[in-house]
Structure 1
Amino acid sequence: MLSNRLVVTALAPAIWGTTYLVTSELLPPDRPLLAAVVRALPAGLLLTAMTRRLPQGDWWWRAFVLGSLNIGAFLALLFVAAYRLPGGVAATVGAVQPILVACLSAGLLGERLRTRTIVAGAAGVAGVSLLVLRADARLDALGVAAALGGAVVMATGVVLAKRWRSPVSPLATTGWQLIAGGLVLVPFMAVFEGLPPALTGANLAGFAYLSIIGAALAYPLWFHGIRALSPTNVTFLGLLSPLVATALGWLVLDQRLTPAQLAGGLLVLAAVIAPQLTKEKKPCASPSSAPPVPSAAR
C-alpha cells in the first residue's frame, strides 16, 4: 500500500513532467538557462518571504551547497546535455539517479542496499529508454558526461538534504535552495544566453507556470517527501517525469505512441512502485544531523 505522503510527493515529478510541453509551446526558443533562473529565483524569494526565515550558522553554507547541487549545477549540466544529446539519450542517462541515491544512502545514511532496489533501478533505465530513446540517437562524450554528472550532483544533493536535517520547515529550506541555485545560474545565463529582445504574453504565462507551479509548489513537495521518507524511494518517483511528458505529447501534441513506448511506460510504473512495497527501515542516526524539530509548515 502506497502511503499518502508518497502519493503527494509524486505530484512533484509529475508536475516537472509538464515542463517539456510548457517549454516547447510557451517559452522563447533557445533560452533554457533563462527558464531555469526565472523558475528558481522568484520562487525562492517568494517562499523565503512567506516563511520569513533566513539561514543561521552552518545553514548559510549548507543552503548554498544544497541549492548548487539540486538546482544550479543540476540544471546547468542538464542544459549542456540537452544541447549535445537527443532528449531521449539525456533522459535515459539521467534515469540512473535512483541507483546512485540508493548507493549514497547506504554509505551516508545507513540504509540497506537491497537487491530489489538495484533491479528496479535497472528496470527504470530500461523503461525510460523504451519510452523516449530513438533508434537513430547519436552519442556525444561530453553530452553523456554532462547528463551523468547531472544525475550525480542531484543524487548527492538529495542524500545531503536528508542527512542535513534542517531546524526549520521544508518550505523555508526549499526557498533558500531555490535562491542559491538561481544565483549560481545567473552568470551562466548572462554569458551564454542573455535576455530575449522581447517577451510575449505566452512567454510570460509559461515563465509564471514554471516558477509558481514548477518550483514554488513542486519543490517543497519534493523536499518534504525527502525529509519524511526514504530518499531512495522518493527518487524512484522522478521516473514519472518522462512518463508524464510522453503522455502529454500524446494527449496534447498528437504524438504517436509505439508498442515499445507502451511497454516502456509499464516498465517505468513497475520500477516506481516496486521499491515502495518494501517496508523501509529508519536510517541510522547521523552525528552531523540536527535533532528532529517539529515543523509548522507540513
Structure 2
Amino acid sequence: MAERESRRGAPGVWRRLAGRPWAVAGLAALGPAAWGTTFVTTTELLPPGRPLLSAALRALPAGLLFLAFTRRLPRGEWWWKAAVLGLLNFGAFFPLIFYGAYRLPGGVASTIGALSPLLVAGFGLVVLKVRPGRGTVPAALVGVVGVALLVLRSEAALDGAGIAALLLATALMALAVVLAKRWGRPEGVSLLALTGWQLTAGGLMLAPVALIVEGAPPVPTASHLVGYAYLGLIGTALAYALWFRGIERLPASSMSFLGLANPVVAAFAGLLLLGQSLTGWQVVGLLLVLSGVLWGQRAGRGGRPVAAGSAAGSGQRAERVPAAAAGG
C-alpha cells in the first residue's frame, strides 16, 4: 500500500521540482543551448547558400506539427498577436540572423547577440513599466565581455550591414520576450498551441520569400534530411517550447541572460566537432559568461515597478506571475 502511494505521489513531486525557478531556468536554457549547435549543423549537414530555406524548414513543419497535435487555432485578437510574435521570433529574426552570420565572423555575431539582456531591460522599462533589478546592467556587461573573450578573434572583420542586421535581430528577439510577458497567453490555451501559432505564422512568412529569393529547393540528400529534422524537432520545436515556458514563469530580464548559453555551446561544439581549441582568455571568458548568467538570474528577480498606479502594477504582475495566470 505504501509503495502504491509512493508511486502515485512521484509525478506530483517531479512536477513541483520542475516548477522551481532553478529548474525552469535550467530547462529554458536548453533552448539557447540547442541554438548553439545551429552553426555546426548548418555547415556540416545542410545545403550551402540556402539560409531562407533553412529558416522556413525550421519553423513551418514544427508549427504545423504542434497545430496538428493541439488542434487549436487563435481567436480574436490572438490572430494578430500570434502573427506579431511569429514575425519577431521567426519571420524576421531568422533571415536577419542568417544574413548577419554570412557577413560577419561567428564571434562578432555572438558578441552582438550578448547585448540582449541590456535590450530586454530597456524594453521592460518601457513596455512592462518595470525597472531592472539591482545588478542587472553590470551582470549584462560581464556577460558581454565574457562572450567577447570566448568567441571574438583579433582578426575579426566588421561589416556595417551585417552588424546592423544582427543588432536589429537581437532587438526583435528582446522585444518578443517582453511582449510575450505582457500578453501572456489566452485562458485554456496550452503552451504547445501558442508555440505552434508563432512557428506557423513565421514559417508562412518565410516560405514564399525563400522560394522567390532562392528558387526551388534542391533535391534533399540523407544528410540534408537529418540536419533539417534535427533543427526542426530539437533546435526549434523542443527548444522554443522550453524557451516560451521559461518566459511564462521567469522575469523577462532573467530569461535574457539564459540566451548566453548559445555562444558557450557553440564554442564547445566547435571544440568537440570541428577540432578547435580553447585559449586561456577563452576560459576566462567562459567563467565570466557563467558568472553573468548566475548574477543575472538573481538580479532579474529584483525588478520594481517604475511608479505606483495601474500601469506600473500591471507591468509588475506581468513580470512576477506566470503569463497563464496573468491572462491574455
- Do they fold alike, i.e. is TM over 0.5? yes
Looking at structure 1, the residues matched to 183 and 143 of structure 2 have their Cα atoms a distance apart, in angstroms, of 28
Give the 5 Å matches for 1:233-252: 233-252=254-273
Of 249, 260, 285, the residue aligned with 2:314 is: 285
Displacement of 1:192: 2.5
Which letter does structure 1 place at the counterpart of 2:218? P
5 Å-filtered alignment, 1:13-52, equals 13-52=32-71
- Aligned CA distance change for structure 1 residues 102 and 287 (closer, same or farther; 3 Å): closer
Q: Residue 161 of structure 1: CA displacement?
A: 0.8
Give 1:85 deviation, angstroms: 1.5
Structure 1 residue 210: Cα displacement: 0.6
- 1:232-275 residue CA offsets vs partner (Å, 9 max, x unmatched): 10111011011001111112222111112111111111111112
Q: Which residue of 2 aligns with 1:166?
A: 185
Matched, 1:111 2:111: no
Tell me the residue number matched to 2:308: none
Q: Which runs of 5+ in 1 are unaligned?
A: none
2:253 aligned residue: 232
Bigger radius of gyration: 2
1:292 positional shift: 5.8
d(CA) in 2 for partners of 1:294 and 1:230? Answer: 14
Distance between the aligned counterparts of 2:79 and 2:296, measured in 1? Answer: 34
Structure 1, 261-270 or 184-193: larger mean CA deviation: 184-193
**Alignment of 1:136 onto 2:155:** yes
2:198 maps to which residue?
177
1:265 lines up with 2:294 in the alignment: no
Which residue type is aligned with residue 255 of structure 1? Q
1:81 is aligned to 100
| 1:220 corresponding residue in structure 2 | 241
Q: Does residue 109 of structure 2 align to residue 90 of structure 1? A: yes
Deviation at 1:230, TM superposition (A): 0.5
CA-CA distance at 1:150 after TM superposition? 0.5
Q: CA deviation at 1:197?
A: 3.0
* Aligned-pair CA distance for 1:76: 1.4
**Alignment match, 1:60:** 79
Instruction: Please tell me whether the aligned partners of residues 129 and 316 of structure 2 are also in contact (alpha carbons under 8 angstroms).
Output: no
Q: What secondary structure is seen at the aligned counterpart in 1 of 2:27?
A: helix
User: Letter of the aligned partner of 2:52 in structure 1?
Assistant: L
* More off after superposition, 187-196 vs 153-162: 187-196
User: TM-score, structure 2 length as denominator?
Assistant: 0.84
Q: Which amino acid aligns with 2:42?
A: T
For residues 82 and 293 of structure 1, the distance between their equivalents in structure 2, rounded to whole angstroms, comes to: 35
Alpha-carbon distance between aligned partners in 2 of 1:76 and 1:97, rounded to the nearest angstrom: 18
Residue 120 of structure 1: aligned partner:
139
Distance 1:7 1:288, change over 3 A: closer
Mapped partners of 2:283, 2:194: distance in 1: 38
Percent identity at matched positions? Answer: 52
> Helix, strand or coil: the match of 1:30?
coil
CA distance in 2 between partners of 1:264 and 1:288 (Å): 35
Cα shift at 1:190: 1.6
Q: 1:159-204: CA deviations, max 9, x gaps?
A: 1011011112221111000011111112321233234432210110
In 2, Cα distance between the equivalents of 1:141 and 1:226? Answer: 32
- Paired residues in the alignment total 294
Which residue does 2:230 correspond to in 1?
Answer: 209
TM-score (ref. length: structure 1): 0.92
CA distance in 2, matches of 1:111, 1:241: 26
Deviates more, 1:133-142 or 1:238-247: 133-142
